[in-house]
Amino acid sequence: MLPLALAGLAVALVWVAPRVLARRTSLRRSPRAALAAWQAASLGGVLAAVSVTPAALPAVLGREGVADHPGLVALALLVSAAVIARLLVSGHLVGTRIRSARAEHRALVDVLGARDDHGVVVLEHPTPTAYCIPGRGSRVVLTRGVLDALPDDQLAAVLAHERAHLRARHDLLLEFFTVLDRSVPPMLRSPAALAEVRLLVEALADRAAVRRSGAVATARAMVAIAEGRAPELGMSAGTSAPVRLRLIAAGPHSALSVVAYALAVLAVATPVGLLGLAWL
């Protein structure tokens, strides 16, 4: 019974939860708690998946029988190990690709612009853009275009946004979800989940920008950058910017975060509890 429950839980957390969470747009107003729920659901899903076969041992063999069947025990652990190995391999592949892309980009940026004492590099380019290169040797990159287009308070908002990404290591969060996405079979993947996590990370950094310069300056900076970039991009669509602006307008909603944190605790505690029960 318990191994089946764990298998069901794994499916629920890996397949159902991302689809449900991605649709709960109200959670976006407490992005920190929502991200905690996302992480917990993923972590809980992995825990449940690797617990299925270890939990099946006492159920199938009886608690005393386990010692008599070392072969089956080894097989059960092998299945769990395979799941973990799958995660580690995608983690390594994704991590290597991301780090080499960053290193290559940082090398270009560093010869093109001088870095100030705060790790900010300015590129001589008219298109207004701001981004950060996270990880070891992190940089915030601004273009001449963005320096020319934005007044000081809006520029401060943009910098606060990028620094929030770097300080809170949002890149690790995105890497974590990218790795999970690559680890599951394509039919289980949820592009909407990845997009939602990305949006939540942006909403969280926007909070830092609003704290620094206020909602109006932050919103104006977004519109100015979006307008400045449009001509070069042509037909690209699907930006999260209007959603982010409306989240800034709506402001935080702390009551929802209690629900999200409760879900987070539940998502991790349930598989641990079920595995414990199987062996008690």
Partner 1 sequence: MPHSTNAPRLGDLERVVMERLWDAATAAGGNASGSTVREVHESIEQDRDIAYTTVMTVLDRLAKKQLVTRERDGRAWRYLPADSREVMTARTMRRTLDDMEVTDRRAALLHFLDGASTDEIADLKAALAEVEARAAGGSAAPGSAPPPGR
Q: Is 98 in the site for partner 1 (CB under 8 A)?
A: yes
Per rule CB under 5 A, is residue 56 in the interface with Zn ion?
no
* Residue with token string 């989240």: 247
The residue range among 25-33, 42-50, 121-129, 202-210 that interacts with Zn ion, by the rule CB under 5 A, is 202-210
Token representation of residue 249 = 């307008």
Q: Tell me, by CB under 8 A, how many residues bind partner 1.
A: 72
Residue of 34, 39, 87, 175 interacting with partner 1 (CB under 8 A): 175
Q: How far apart are CA 50 and CA 47, in angstroms?
A: 5
Q: Of these, 170, 200, 203, 204, which contacts partner 1 (CB under 8 A)?
A: 170
Give 237 or 255: the residue with its C-beta nearer to partner 1. Answer: 237
Subset of residues 126 to 165 that bind Zn ion, contact rule: CB under 5 A: none
User: Residues 130-159 vs partner 1: string with x where CB under 8 A?
Assistant: xxxxx---x--x-x-------x------x-
Cα 194 from Cα 178, distance rounded (Å): 7
- Examine residue 115 and tell whether it contacts partner 1 (CB under 8 A): yes
The residue at minimum Cβ distance from Zn ion is 205
User: How many whole angstroms separate alpha carbon 159 and alpha carbon 168?
Assistant: 14
90 binds, among partner 1, Zn ion, none (CB under 5 to 8 A by kind): none
Binding mask 197-236 for partner 1 (x = CB under 8 A): -x--x------------xxx--xxxxx-xxx-xx-xx-xx
Beta bridge partners of 140: 120, 132
Closer residue to partner 1, CB minimum distance, 26 or 96:
96
Residue 194 binding partner 1, by CB under 8 A:
yes
How far lies 85's CA from each of 12, 89, 98, 169, 224, in Å? Answer: 22, 6, 20, 25, 46
- Cα dihedral value 36, 169, 24, 18, nearest 10: -80
Q: Which of 24, 32, 125, 253 binds partner 1 (CB under 8 A)?
A: 125
Say whether residue 67 binds partner 1 (CB under 8 A). Answer: no
CA–CA distance, 144 with 202 (Å, rounded to integer): 23
**Residue 205 touches Zn ion, criterion: CB under 5 A:** yes
Binds 64, which of partner 1, Zn ion, none (CB < 5 to 8 A, cut-off by type)? Answer: none
CA nearest to 139, candidates 125, 158, 120: 120
Specify burial of residue 266 (Cβ count, 10 A radius: 0-12, 13-18, 19+).
Answer: middle
Contact 207, 143 (CB under 8 A): no
Q: How many residues bind Zn ion (CB under 5 A)?
A: 2
Task: List the one residue from 74, 85, 88, 241 that touches partner 1 (CB under 8 A).
Answer: 241
- Listed residue (87, 19, 5, 34) closest to 201, CA to CA: 34
Binding positions for Zn ion, rule: CB under 5 A:
202, 205
